[in-house]
Amino acid sequence: MTRLLPAAVRAAVPWKNGGGVTREIAAWPPGADMAGFAWRVSLAEVGADGPFSAFPDVDRTLTLVEGAGMDLTVDGAPRLVDTRDVPQDFRGDVPTDCRLLDGPVVNLNVMWRRGGGRTAPHVAVVRGRLRLAATPALVVALDGGTEVAGVTLGRYDAALLTGTDTVLHARGRTAVIGLTPPD
């Protein structure tokens, strides 16, 4: 089964600190708020320096998809995020501060709650042709022109795949997020 998640219908939600906005792509369970999700995938537009929000008992994978990058301090340790398409894992419940390197950035943000028998999502940015197994996966076209399960995705469109093998043909950068099947 394929569920199309078009970029055009996503609402921009401002951050509490005013430093950017987030656009949720998908979450489990569907409609879960920030306190109730098992996993959540979004695109975050970071427009200013400042702290990241803390998420107790949550881990995250952040992937820079637009902009020059960020100089993060994660739990007191420096972490330079200046290469696009390279997933960066860190805990969501430790103090994290951000300094933009050269203007705004857009990050693909994958968050998941620890425990409950769930494993961490697998995040990769790919190009080319790839067979996807019948486990839940979220495909996000970072450039557009991605074909999967009979649909063509434009820039930032996504498809949630469940239940059948399919072939992905990524003509541009495409994020593939392998998800833990729901309980």
pLDDT of residue 1: 81
Report the pLDDT value the prediction gives residue 15, as an integer from 0 to 100. 82
Domain ranges of the chain: 10-113, 122-178
Residues 83-117: pLDDT tens digits? 999 999 999 999 999 999 999 999 999 999 987 66
CATH class of the domain whose range is 10-113: mainly beta
Mean of the per-residue pLDDT values of the chain: 92
pLDDT at 183: 54
Read off the pLDDT of residues 19-58 as tens digits, 9 standing for 90 and up: 889 999 999 998 888 888 999 999 999 999 999 988 999 9
CB-based contacts of 133: which residues, under 8 Å, 6+ apart? 165
CA distances (Å), origin 31, targets 25, 35, 39, 181: 11, 11, 11, 17
Predicted pLDDT at 110: 97
Specify whether the CB–CB gap between 163 and 6 falls below 8 A.
no
Q: Which residue has the tokens 């990241």?
A: 52
- Quote the pTM value: 0.94
Check residue 134 and give its pLDDT: 74
